[in-house]
Amino acid sequence: MEINSETKIYALIGNPVKYSLSPLIHNAAFEELELNCVYLAFKTKNAEDAINGMKCLNIAGGNVTVPYKVEVIGYLDEIEQTAEKIGAVNTIVNKKGHLKGHNTDWIGAIRALEEKTGIKNKNILMLGAGGTARAIGFGVKEKGGNLTILNRTSHKAKELAGEVGCSYGGLDKMEESVDYADILINTTPVGMYPDTKNSLVPEELLKEDIIVFDVIYNPPKTKLIKDAEEKGCKTINGLKMLVYQGAAAFEIWTGKKAPVELMEKVVVRS
């Protein structure tokens, strides 16, 4: 598609943005659907100025990444209901200067999970209580899962569990918690490049009937995922969540079905 004066611009704001795969995913999708749109990453020094800039330049929408997913809420005109509950925005739509914030991280995670398993009434053990855990925690509760949160800093697990309405504990509760889990979700960076030799879950605790979801996508096969595969567990890696959160954002912006397979192909190739 030729870039011209009608081209709609979608922007990623965050810092750093250098390693983001979102430009790759969305530009491939825009091209596939022959939409006159382009997606660019902006290393952003200040969230408020970035939002004013989006309005001023009539940027059509975009994504928000670390460290602005929470802060940006204060500068938007409207927040979609679930994003408001989660307290974080990763997607913005600009309708005639009215900026609305959405959260598609939880949509991506839940879609990735639901591809492999139901969630309702399942015992779900989630490791971590940071931003990603908030999005997934609310999503899982919304779908009727029985959630337990374990976190290194247990008061943070307590805080998030209080908001979501679920059980919690410190990482010392790992053994008993894994024992009754149907689904195990890692939202911490343990296992992420360059820390690829580590996993928070001792491999001997994994049994083949647990479904293991690691939100890390670099590497796509973390130690946790490899250990789980060896035990014969069904596994889900972070690339799925990445692609599905992008697909959900794309659909909000364009109203068109996202070319998910293509989006997946470009991230796997990258």
Instruction: Tell me how far apart the alpha carbons of residues 10 and 92 are, in angstroms, rounded to a whole number.
Output: 9
Using the rule CB under 6 A, give the single segment among 49-57, 73-81, 123-131, 137-145 that binds ligand ATR: 123-131
Asked whether position 130 contacts ligand ATR by CB under 6 A, the answer is yes
Neighbours of 217 (CB within 10 A): 18
Asked whether position 170 contacts ligand ATR by CB under 6 A, the answer is no
- Beta carbon of residue 257, minimum distance to ligand ATR (angstroms, whole number): 28
Residue count, binding to ligand ATR (CB under 6 A)? 15
**Amino acid identity, residue 230?**
E
Using the rule CB under 6 A, give the single segment among 54-62, 186-194, 243-251, 254-262 that binds ligand ATR: 186-194
Asked whether position 149 contacts ligand ATR by CB under 6 A, the answer is no
Asked whether position 63 contacts ligand ATR by CB under 6 A, the answer is no
Binders of ligand ATR in range 194-253 (CB under 6 A): 200
- Beta carbon of residue 130, minimum distance to ligand ATR (angstroms, whole number): 2
If phi > 0 it is left, if psi is from -120 to 50 it is alpha, else beta; for residue 102 that is beta
The residue within the footprint of ligand ATR, chosen from 11, 37, 50, 129 (CB under 6 A), is 129
Using the rule CB under 6 A, give the single segment among 15-23, 104-112, 117-125, 185-193 that binds ligand ATR: 185-193
Asked whether position 188 contacts ligand ATR by CB under 6 A, the answer is yes
Residue 102 tokens, joined: 């959405």
Instruction: Tell me how far apart the alpha carbons of residues 170 and 226 are, in angstroms, rounded to a whole number.
Output: 24
Asked whether position 104 contacts ligand ATR by CB under 6 A, the answer is no
- Paired with 159 in beta bridges are none
- Beta carbon of residue 116, minimum distance to ligand ATR (angstroms, whole number): 22
Do residues 119 and 145 touch, judged by C-beta distance below 8 A?
yes
Long-range contacts, 230-236 (Cβ 8 Å, 24+)? 230/203, 231/203, 231/206, 231/207, 232/208, 233/206, 233/207, 233/208, 233/209, 234/116, 234/117, 235/211, 236/112, 236/113, 236/115, 236/116, 236/211, 236/212
Q: Which of 90, 73, 87 is nearest to 13 (CA)?
A: 90
- Beta carbon of residue 135, minimum distance to ligand ATR (angstroms, whole number): 8
Asked whether position 153 contacts ligand ATR by CB under 6 A, the answer is yes
Q: Which residues of 127-140 are buried (b: 16+ CB within 10 A; e: fewer)?
A: bbbebbbbbbbbbb
Q: Output 177 or 187, the one with its CB closest to ligand ATR.
A: 187
Q: Which of 90, 31, 19 is nearest to 262 (CA)?
A: 31
Catalytic positions, written as ranges: 69
Q: Output 128 or 169, the one with its CB closest to ligand ATR.
A: 128
Which residue lies nearest ligand ATR, judged by its C-beta?
Answer: 130
Q: Output 78 or 172, the one with its CB closest to ligand ATR.
A: 172
Q: Which residues bind ligand ATR (CB under 6 A)?
A: 128-133, 151-153, 156, 187-190, 200
